[in-house]
Amino acid sequence: MEPVPFREINDPVELRRVLEATLLLEADLDLAVLLRHIVEEARSITHATYGALGVLNADGNGLSEFVTAGMDLESEERIGARPKGLGILGVLITDPRPLRMANIGGHPGSFGFPPDHPPMQSFLGVPVMLRGEVFGNLYLTDKIGWSEFSRDDELLVGSLAVAAGIAIENAQLHQRVREAAVFEDRDRMARDLHDTVIQRLFGAGLTLQGIASTARPDVSERIIEVIDQLDATIRQVRSTIFELGQAEFRQGARSSVLHIVRELELVLGFRVELSVEGPIDTTLPERVSENMTATLREALTNVGRHAGATKVRVELSARNGVCRLVVVDDGHGIVEGTSSDEGGNGLVNMRRRAEKLFGTLDVLSTPGVGTSIIWQVPLAP
């Protein structure tokens, strides 16, 4: 393949595509969706095979988010943890200027790719500025049909990056407005739910406890089951109140879990029952959160592919110094004697994630009844 020759950007089709991409970015005010649109548009206008947008962390010395395009979910899962801003990606962090090259491996800052990462050759990186500061970097690799990206590609993506910076700032402003409104509603709803619904449920539970103490044993047993259900309802209501103020706007573990569950419900074909207890966002260290969410994604993906289930329940808790994730399905169970690799269950990966955090993985499976995955690790090993 020959390098792309330099030419001035005077093609009205190219200019129109940049304009359309700019309008599209400004039309979408959800930040998470917006970041993905930026990557997709940059990849589209340059005909890149792969694209990514790395968002800098608060200190500006690494990446806190890494949004990708061009790679399927299975390939991303095999690669493992998201990049933190080392190698070529780190070059743009320390020197935020456009960077083009025909061969990534030939750059002195490159030190290769992790296992299972697809090979990549040509590279184009452009910073995205926000109020005079670097918000993140656009990374594009492997231009389709050519050996490297052109100067025109650099100028096109640079123009898109300017529009993206404006759109991101706009999205953040709208997000703050929505966040303030939601927090106000959350406080009001919390008071109403605590003063009415939760108190009534609690009162009903106390009344049933009194009745259970004088009822026949068989009746008492049924009443105690109802009391347990009331307690679970109270916990779920409290979790919902907290989720209202946190999950949609905070990129914490709770938000990640909710996103994974909602995303994989499309694969499963039914709604997942989700229960979250404890201060998940404030107590889970990053290493625990990353491995927990990876385990959840793999467990739900395996249910969709292999279990033949019609119901799935996910329970996540952080209490007594332990993070505990439980995934229960009503599928056909794990066939005895089938290895995780042969059966596609991915149990080896889940167990490794637990063991490297000094935790455990327990699998309880009954053919024709279902499977329970219990993954738990200490919060502070």
Could you count the other beta carbons within 10 Å of the beta carbon of residue 59? 7
Q: For 214, left (φ over 0), alpha (ψ -120 to 50), or beta? A: alpha
For residue 9, name the pLDDT band (cuts at 50, 70, 90). Answer: very low
Indicate if the pLDDT at residue 310 is higher than 90: no
Average pLDDT, stretch 123-135?
Answer: 88
CA nearest to 149, candidates 7, 41, 2, 3: 3
d(CA 61, CA 352): 29
Q: How far apart are the first and last CA of the chain?
A: 53
The pLDDT value recorded for residue 198 is: 65
Report pLDDT for 20. 56
Q: In the β-sheet with 48-56, what is the strand arrangement from edge to edge?
A: 63-69, 48-56, 133-143, 123-130, 99-101
Chain-centre distance for alpha carbon 109: 29
pTM: 0.48
What is the per-residue pLDDT across 71-112, written as a single tens digit (0 to 9) for each? Answer: 887 777 788 777 888 888 888 888 889 999 999 888 887 777
Mean pLDDT of the chain: 78
pLDDT in tens, 331-348: 888 754 444 433 445 788
CATH 3.40.462.10 fits 12-176, yes or no: no
What is the spatial distance between Cα 185 and Cα 199, in angstroms, rounded to a whole number?
A: 20
pLDDT level of residue 23 (50, 70, 90 thresholds):
low
Under CATH, what is the fold of the domain 252-378? Heat Shock Protein 90 (3.30.565)
C-alpha span between 353 and 123 (Å, rounded):
32
Q: Sign of the CA dihedral 327, 331, 335, 341?
A: negative
To the nearest 10°, report the CA torsion of 219, 222, 228, 230: -90
| Secondary structure E strands in 89-180 | 99-101, 123-130, 133-143
Label residues 250-274 b or e (16+ Cβ within 10 Å = b). Answer: eebbbbbbbebbeebbeebeeebeb
* 114-118, 150-154, 263-267: range with highest mean pLDDT: 150-154
Question: CB 344: neighbour CB atoms within 10 A?
Answer: 13
pLDDT in tens, 221-236: 888 888 777 777 766 6
Question: DSSP E strands: which ranges in 155-294?
Answer: 273-277
Torsion of CA 168, 174, 178, 180, to 10 degrees: 100
d(CA 213, CA 156): 75
How far apart, in Å, are the Cα atoms of 22 and each of 18, 131, 163, 164, 168? 6, 18, 6, 7, 12
Task: Name the nearest CA neighbour of 174 among 301, 28, 10, 273.
Answer: 28
